[in-house]
Chains A and B, each alone.
Chain A
């Protein structure tokens, strides 16, 4: 199975400042034939289902604010919130969908400092 790790476990950032979350996979999730990284990011607020933010590692889902961006390739990925807003307080998960089982990272909790 591909093991997904995330760092840090939690972080507190001042409003308007940058938040950076790292995600690492134990094997590459890059599919060479189409050069796509099979990596997604989700945001989950308390009492709500996860909300898809990013797919193919860097493509923002329609309607997601452009302060959210994804980057990386192979085994190392980053979700960046360029200017943290109060409504961004949540747990963020990465998930690989390169091969089954489609494993998730353990989550990173983002709070306001």
Chain B
């Protein structure tokens, strides 16, 4: 069974950086891209980017280019998403996910940005 387990909730001040982890199991980590998705309060789903764990190459939605950094550690089957220069607009639940036949989603990590 595909499982993705994310790190816990974070509270950050404006301007800070947050880094969320996503540990996977139940499939071969390097066989599928690992995606990150944002869901702001009472809003829909927004694709942020992905990483190919096989070569570590990330790809970002234009909106998050330059502020998000997605990486993968194949020694621990864990992906990471770092978001810098946080503002109140970054308050959201962030999900890691695998898409397609091996689909699975993490439980979500709530990031609250508040002074």
Question: Which residues of chain A have a CB within 8 Å of any CB of chain B?
Answer: 40, 42, 44, 49-52, 55-56, 59, 61, 93, 95, 97, 100-107
Contact = CB atoms under 8 A, between A and B. Distances in A.
B99 A93 contact: no
B100 interface: yes
Interface of B: 35, 37, 44-47, 50, 59, 61-62, 95, 97, 99-101, 103-108
Q: What's the dominant secondary structure at chain A's contact region? A: loop
A107 B46 CA distance: 11
Contacts of A52: 99, 103-105
Nearest to B107: A49
Contacts of A104: 37, 44-47
Given A100-B50, A102-B35, A93 B45 contact: yes
A102 B62 CA distance: 12
B45 A100 contact: no
A2 B5 CA distance: 30
B106 A95 contact: no
A73 B103 CA distance: 20
A55 B103 CA distance: 8
A49 B45 contact: no
Nearest to B95: A49
A101 B45 CA distance: 12
